[in-house]
Structure 1
Amino acid sequence: MDKKQQVGFIGLGAMGSLMATHLLSNSIEVHVYDIQSTLCNEIAEKGGIVHPHPKSVAEHSMVIICMLPNPSVVRSVILGENGVLEGVKRESVVIDMGTVGPSVEIECAERLQEKGAHLIDAPVGKGVWAAGSGELTILAGGDKEIIARVEDILNMLGEKIIYCGPLGSGQVVKLSNNLASCVNMAALSELYVLAQKNGIDIDVIQEALNGTAADSWHLHNSLPRVKEDEFSPGFKTKLAHKDLELVVGLGEELGIDLPVSSNALSWYNNAIDKGYEDLDWSALAKAALEKVESKSVK
């Protein structure tokens, strides 16, 4: 009997847990770590092997997937004490699949190369529903030969792999996607406020915009949530906020002014200030209306 392929998986949040479970269902031996032991235990019940720290995961895996929330966590997990770098084997490949921006990828890749290991960035498109079914869109950046080495794993997790360019390019493409979608949600929030203050129903807005240049995914998926006041998280407001901060930060690194993104970020700041960080990002519209109404009362 052939030995199972060993894959490390670090970060078992909403997306990561489903992705790790999907690998298990494809007969992969999955070695996991998350700072929350309860999440590790859930994967252990499905056959995953739990480790005490990222170093141990790296010691037992030639492919290590990271699905982490922000650059500082990636830096800590890979470069920190008991991190991946301390346990990584020569010719191992780290696949960073979170949305964290290009700078940290380049920093971590340089350190891993000192030990003969490799890193590719491969952030994902779509959402939780696709994470558990292997239907993600994967935006890969890095050396093509290294990407080819792990293509079998990427194909298990995604139905489409788009090669974006050298290391960090996947992150830039993902941030470009999130720039467009986050700004669109902010624009619809303003539209919602304008409509509500003029007594116009959401259904009328949807019908009027459907099929026009103003049509969008948010029009059909987020505005109905606003109407029903139903904000159970699909994509959390705090994650959209983080992504827009990364966009604005990347612009600052490059000396590029991004006024639309910066102004949209103010609406996400408003939603965070109102305590909506763990609600679906469609709660942006609810927070926007509350802000306008609070000014009216004053």
Structure 2
Amino acid sequence: MSTWTVRRGVALSASFILALCAGPEVGAQVAAGPTSKTAAEAEIRAFDAAFVDWYNKGDAKALASLYTEDADVFEADGARYRGRDLIERSYTETIAAQKGAKLTLEIESIRPLSADVVKEEGRSLTTLATGAVVPRFYTALFVKSDGRWLIASVREETDSLVRPHDRLKELDWLIGDWVAAGTELDAQVHGGWSADGNFLILDYSVKRGVKPMMQVTQRVGWDAVASQFHSWEFDSEGGFGEGIWSRDGERWVVKQTGVRPEGVTASSTRILTRKRAYLVSLLVTDQVVGGVAIPGEERSALTRVPPVPQLGAGPPRPINEKSPQ
């Protein structure tokens, strides 16, 4: 693998996702001839979705087929290269070097310049397997040839600001409804976005048997100064606390400190480990209350609640390892 490819792998994947066009299957459905603004936008959006899907599947050949033979690529650092063969080779090496990377697009505008030329502008996001997010601004030019859209050129610019919402996508697996079963306490947990999209909100309803114990609300955000996730939580009895999050593979370690309702300080370490898309283990250890260490550990498991089936969708199926998530 060339030094050039390793150095530009992230930029390459980020810039090319923006320029989506139809592959052989999708392109065959696009009618030739004059295209209205509404139809052109719908076609390009469909091609964008197909491109992102192909990238996430690691299909370099299909991605390269979306470009004209002499397509131009201009990267954020000033590098320029041309040709479908080089594009395919670059995709092949980038996908191999960044296994597990996922791409998304935020389209700002799709503007037909003529019946056969469309300009798209937006922002691309590459989320690496480590959770790091690489953003780029982009401008893509599409041309229609034989009834099929192809990418003629892509120009990207560096986006130095990663928004809090983009950072938090690393934790969006928490979104949804969960049930937690422990040795003493049970809980129902609901995870969702805040109204502004810049925080994750986790609401806990804690019970001992059938008896309600307390309600807890936790807000998780990005600390731009410390460059890590930070959470704040408040319970219905007047206690409050905060946590500092760090990642170790599929394990999230949360160093928690707080004040109990009676005014006693407390601290602990919480470790969440993703076992499956529907199963997370929780270990609470290193507990200290009022300066006194509490021996032992507390273990529980969070299980995702399947969504309520829609009318006519058929009977619900149990979630297991062979069920698609």
When normalised by structure 2's length, the TM-score is: 0.27
> Higher Cα Rg: structure 1 or 2?
2
The structure in which a higher percent of residues are strand is 2
